[in-house]
Structure 1
Amino acid sequence: MRRVLLLLSLVFATLVLATLSGASAASAGGIAFVLNSAGASISVIDMATQKEVRRIPALREPHHLALSPDGASLLVGDTAGNQIMFLDPNTGAVQKRMPIADPYQLGFSPDGKFLTVNGLARNQVDIYDAASMKLLKRFPVVATPSHLAYSPDSATVFVSLQDSDKLAAFDLRTMTRRWVKPVGRTPAGVLWLNGKVLVADMGTDYIAVVDPATGRVERHVRTGRGAHQLFLSPDHTILWVNNRAGGTTVSLDAATLTPIRSYAIPGGPDDMDFAPGGKIWITRRWAEKVAVLDPQTGSYSTIDVGRSPHGIFLNPRAPSPTALSSR
C-alpha cells in the first residue's frame, strides 16, 4: 500500500511540475510592439513564437514610441492623428489618449523630467514636463525636426533637422536655443556616445561625429548608403547603424567607431531593439516585415506585420500575449 501511495505521489508531483513548466513556458517570451506607420496600426507580437497575435488600431500614422520613466506606459506618437496613445507595455491595453500636436519622434530625458516631441510636419520642437505633460516651451525650427538625443546630464537635447541639413541643440535648463549647425545631407538618427553626438546622414553613406559644445563636425565614419538610425548595444560595446537605402545593418566598435561587420537586411532597415540572448529585431520599412537577426551567424528570420513598419519596442519580461489571450 505504501508503495502504491508513493507511486501515486510521484505521478502527481510529475504532473504538477509539468503543468507549472508549461505555464511558465507560456508566460515566457515577452511581447513586442511594432508601429505600422502606413497601416494606422500597432502589431502585437508574441516574442516566443515570433507571430503577430493582434493589431491595435491607431488614428492615422504612428511612427515612434517611448517608455515612460516609471515603466508604466508605452507612449506611441501618432503624428498625423495629433495624439499620443498610452499603452500598457505588459498587455497592450490602451490606457488613455492625449491630444498632442504632430508627435513624430518623442523621448524622455535621462533624469525623467522632460519629454521632447518633434513635430516633423509642423516644424516645431516641443518640450513637456514629463510628470504633468504640460507644454513648457515650443521652439520653431527650419526644417523638419526628425530624431533626438539627450546629453547624459539632461541639460541639452539635440534634434536633427532633415530638410536644412543641420543639427540643433536646445538648453533645457534655460529653455533656449544653443546652436544650429550643418552636419551633412538629410540628417536623421542622433545618439550621444563617449562625449560626442553622432548623427546619421541619410543623404550620404556616413555618420558625423559632432562636438556637443560647438556643433562642429570633427570627422565622418563610413557605414553604408543612406545611414539612417543609430543604436547602442545593451552592454554599450557595439554601435549599430541601419543604412536604410543600402539595405544593410552595420556593427561598429563603440569605443573606436571601427566597423566590425555588415549584414544584408533588404527592405529598408529602420528601427531596432535588442532581445535577451543577443538577437536583434529590426523593422524593414519597405517590406512589411520585421527581421530577427542573429549577429553571430548573420542569418535572420522574418515576421509579417503591417504597412511601413517603423518604431519597435520589446518587453521580454511581459507575459506571452498568446497566453494572455487564451485565459
Structure 2
Amino acid sequence: MGFLALCFQFHAMAATSPAPVFVLNSLDGNVSVIDPQTWTEKKRIPTGKEPHHLYLTPDEKSVIVANALGDSLTFIDPRTAQIQRVVTGILDPYHLRFSPDMKWFVTAANRLNHVDIYRWDGHQLTLAKRLKTGKTPSHLWIDSKSTTAWVSIQDGNELISIDLATQTLKSRIGTGTMPADVFGTPDDKTLLVGITGGTGVEVYDITGAQPRLIKMLPTGKGAHAFRALGDKRHVFVSNRVANTISQIDYATLQVVAELPAPSGPDCMEVTADGRFILVASRWAKKLTVIDIAARKVVRQVPVGKSPHGVWTLDHAPRN
C-alpha cells in the first residue's frame, strides 16, 4: 500500500472512530483521555492549575479547558486529544460559556469574585467588561437569544443576571445556600438552580423583569450540576451529598427517576445515543458510567485526583 493510500486510510479511521471522553482532574492539573470503546485511560494531558470546567468552541474545532488557578485556557482538539494552544492572562476562569450567537465568551472567576465578558471573533478573545459580582460566582447560563447571562453566587447565596449587550447588571435576588449550576429551559421561560447547601433545585420563572421563585423541587442533598438528556423534556441533576442523580421533567417540574451515583457525583455527560450518563465521582478518582434505562452503575474508570468536568464530542443534544 502506498503512502497516500495509508494516509487516506488513517484519516478515514479517525473520522469514524468515536471521539474520546475528557475528564478534568482538578487537583492534578491535567486531563484524562478515555477511550469509550475499551473504557481505558489512554493518556493524560497537562494543563494549568485546577482545571474545573470545559466548553466547545462554536466551530467545534477546539474544546477549551479553563484552568482556574493557572489563569489560562488550554485549547484541545476534541477528536485527536492534542493540545492546540494555550491562552494566558485569563484571570481565574472557573466556569465558562459561549453565547449561542457566538459573539460572547463569559467566564466566572470563582476565586476573584468577578465575571469577565469577552468578545469572540472566532479565534481571539477581547475583554469587553469585568463585573464585580459578590462572593464566589460559580456557574453560568446564557439564554437562547444571547441576551442574558445568569450567574449563581455561591457564597453570597444569590442569583444575578447580566445584560450582554451593555455588560451591565440586570437583576440580583437571594437564593438557598450555596447555589451552583444553572440550567435554562429551551423556551427561556424557566431557570433551574442547584442548591448544593440544601436538598434540591430552585425553579424560577424568568419571563418578567425580575426572576420569580415558583418552586423548590426536592432531589437530594447537595444538588449541584445539570446535564440535559437531549429529548427537549428532561434534565439530570447530580446530588453530590446524596450520591444520586435525579431526572427532572422540566415540563411538569417533577422528578421522574432517580439513579445511583457513588462517591460525590459532580459534572456529567450523556452519550449521543442517550443510553449512558458519564459522571465524575469526585471523591473516588473515577469516571462512573450509568445505564439510564436500567438505572444502575455498569462500570468505573480510574482517573486522577478530584475529577470534575466531563465532556465528549459524541454527546446528546444540550436541551
Give the TM-score taking structure 1 as reference length.
Answer: 0.87
The separation in 1 between residues aligned to 2:76 and 2:309, in whole angstroms, is 14
Q: Which residue of 1 aligns with 2:183?
A: 191
Q: Structure 2: which amino acid aligns with 1:307?
A: K
Q: Which residue of 1 aligns with 2:112?
A: 122
Q: Which residue of 2 aligns with 1:308?
A: 306
Larger RCO (alpha carbons 8 Å, 6+ apart): 1
Indicate the SS of the match to 2:155.
Answer: helix
Indicate the SS of the match to 2:304.
Answer: coil
Q: CA deviation at 1:42?
A: 0.2
Which structure has the bigger radius of gyration?
1
The separation in 1 between residues aligned to 2:81 and 2:75, in whole angstroms, is 9
Alpha-carbon contact 1:167-1:215 (below 8 Å) kept: no
Q: Which residue of 1 aligns with 2:3?
A: none
The separation in 2 between residues aligned to 1:314 and 1:34, in whole angstroms, is 9
1:67 equivalenced with 2:56 (yes/no) = yes
Indicate the SS of the match to 1:242.
Answer: strand
Aligned partner (choices 180, 195, 200) of residue 206 of structure 1: 200
Equivalences for residues 289-308 of structure 1 within 5 A: 289-300=286-297, 301-308=299-306
The separation in 1 between residues aligned to 2:133 and 2:247, in whole angstroms, is 32
Q: Which residue of 1 aligns with 2:283?
A: 286
Q: CA deviation at 1:276?
A: 2.9
1:258 equivalenced with 2:254 (yes/no) = yes
Cα RMSD (Å): 1.7
1:267 equivalenced with 2:267 (yes/no) = no
Q: CA deviation at 1:27?
A: 5.0
Between stretches 80-89 and 211-220, larger displacement belongs to: 211-220
Gaps of 5+ in 2: 1-8
Q: Which residue of 2 aligns with 1:246?
A: 242
Alpha-carbon contact 2:244-2:261 (below 8 Å) kept: yes
Q: CA deviation at 1:229?
A: 1.0
Q: Which residue of 2 aligns with 1:135?
A: 127
Alpha-carbon contact 1:62-1:79 (below 8 Å) kept: yes
Indicate the SS of the match to 2:242.
Answer: coil
Q: Percent identity?
A: 37
Q: Structure 1: which amino acid aligns with 2:197?
A: G
Indicate the SS of the match to 2:80.
Answer: coil
Q: Which aligned segments of 4 or more residues in structure 1 are displaced greater than 6 angstroms?
A: none
Q: Structure 2: which amino acid aligns with 1:90?
A: R
Q: Residues 24 and 211 of structure 1: is their aligned pair in 2 closer, same or farther, counting only changes over 3 Å?
A: same
Q: CA deviation at 1:252?
A: 1.7
The separation in 2 between residues aligned to 1:109 and 1:135, in whole angstroms, is 15
Q: Which residue of 1 aligns with 2:46?
A: 57
Q: CA deviation at 1:24?
A: 5.8
1:164 equivalenced with 2:161 (yes/no) = no
Gaps of 5+ in 1: 1-19, 318-327
Indicate the SS of the match to 1:218.
Answer: strand
1:106 equivalenced with 2:104 (yes/no) = no
Structure with greater helix percent: 1
The separation in 2 between residues aligned to 1:216 and 1:186, in whole angstroms, is 18
Q: Which residue of 2 aligns with 1:48?
A: 37
The separation in 2 between residues aligned to 1:128 and 1:271, in whole angstroms, is 24
Indicate the SS of the match to 1:81.
Answer: coil
Q: Residues 29 and 72 of structure 1: is their aligned pair in 2 closer, same or farther, counting only changes over 3 Å?
A: closer
Indicate the SS of the match to 2:125.
Answer: coil
Between stretches 162-171 and 216-225, larger displacement belongs to: 216-225
Between stretches 114-123 and 269-278, larger displacement belongs to: 269-278
Alpha-carbon contact 1:181-1:216 (below 8 Å) kept: no
Alpha-carbon contact 1:47-1:316 (below 8 Å) kept: no
1:79 equivalenced with 2:68 (yes/no) = yes
User: Deviation string for 1:93-150 (max 9, x for gaps)?
Assistant: 1111111110100000111110110000000100001223000010011110000101
